[in-house]
Structure 1
Amino acid sequence: MDLRERLGFVDNNVWLWGRVGAQAWWDARQARGALARDPDRFAEVKVFCNFIGYPRSGHSVVSSILDAHQAAVFSHRLDALGHLKAGVAPEAVFHMIARNAERFARDGRKLTAYAYPVPGQHQGRGGRPTVIGDQEAKWATLRLSRDPELLARARFRHAPRLAFIHVVRNPFDNIATLANRTQSALESAMETYFQLCAGVERVKARYPEQVLDIRHEELVAAPRAQIRRLGEFLGLTVDEPYLEACAGLVYPAASQSRASRSWSGALVRDVEQRAGRHPHLAGYAYDR
């Protein structure tokens, strides 16, 4: 890749996190008043869902599909568990999730070179949701890996069921995209990736019946079937208009970003060997 191509991959991570962080700070301070005016806004929440896994796996498209459902609200890059850990009350975090989703929808759910609006559906307009959650997978994985009882300590008013969505893609594509976006070496991106793999395994051990694996490649190949799986897992009714609109959001082919970098034979073997230790990566290889 030449310099121009590499610069095209550079992530705007600092700017995104800075903007979301400033907005979250304001929303946290407005939460008490908002909840006092409407104390039952989140009384119908039955599921609190967090994504776990790795950046650049397809979380944005999956969370955008879920946020399009009339009974669901999903924030983008909020780091909801970070706010819970900092002592923000769960209902206030729910308020922050809803405000984040409203803003993201108002901006066309645009992120870097991609946008994830679902026309004619309910993005940013969750009303009184039964499912609420956050798309930020990396930090959720690290926080739960380091503090497995974080959610157990949270004082939820209505005790929602905890659920986790784990979006998986070919590790070579994931590692290459991580390296491109952070302008780092493949070896460094590989270490980050497998650190998060280990974190996912710890979350699964703590919540063995509450994690849904979604393969990005299967979502691309059969979006309707995977969207139905998501709805069933979260207790959401999936009707035909919603299914049709959301299936249209999914790109027709999975990007094979592994081809954007040069891989040594030793590095390919190392990734394949380490991937073999994680059941959720079964069947993946550099050439498939």
Structure 2
Amino acid sequence: MVTIEKMDFSYPKKPTICRGLNLFLEQGKIIGLLGLNGAGKSTLMRLMAGLLKPKAGAVKFDNHATFEREVAFLNQMVFIPEKVSVPEFLKVKDYVIVYKDFYEGFDIGRLEELLVQFKITGNQRISNLSFGQQKKLQIAIGLSSGAKLLLFDEPTNGLDIPSKSTFRKVLSGSLQEDQTMVISTHQVKDIENLVDQVIVLDEGMIKLHADLAELENEFVFSQAAKAPEGAIYVESHLLGAHYIIGQSESVGDSGGSPDLELLFNAVIEGKISGEFLTNQKLVKP
């Protein structure tokens, strides 16, 4: 699907953002790309979309170099940036007619369902839509495109609380086996219980690439009045502590599903690092 090999990237007159980056993204996965502001998330998304050219190495989609922007690649890729730009003089239905011709697998029925859920009508003029509504329109088109690679950069920015809930609802279970979705965000809670894998990017480096099912097998994510001895990472709060502990160190605590915010903070603090895919083991520094 997406393969990044020994990739370097930097902007002119700025420090190198990525050096020697390696990454492989599987089909049928929703992947959360997490990082602090300025960590390089949007840059990595644009490299995968073919909008930026690596200084060295390769970024490929099904053996197509993304920066070459071949039709075979563009027909199978949707990129929704954080700041959307749409032709405001068009009505929604006219914009859809133009857009759907780019994708041979476009599902107009699916789009109509999503527009209803997002409370957008075809006769609305795009200039009359709020920023959040324009974002929802782009999301609906992306999810209806039939593209195999879906790249959503900060998709929940600009969405109100009900719209975020609808976004999670429409994404849940919507991915086909031959599709890959990457969701870049620093709002970790917005994608919790949605993603299959998580990538933590920090200072242009991948600090963690993990399958959540494997993380759940390896660690306990829990809370108590006091964190147990041997906890890998602890965050104190008014009622006690949230903590991560290895399954082998845990006694009588099954915990719950991985807490992405707790995991993210642990990785940024250097308490957890490594890769946990293809039989590689997660390691503590």
Give the TM-score, by structure 1 length. Answer: 0.29
Structure with higher RCO (Cα < 8 A, 6+ apart): 1
Q: For the pair shown, which has the larger CA radius of gyration, 1 or 2?
A: 2
Give the TM-score, by structure 2 length. Answer: 0.30
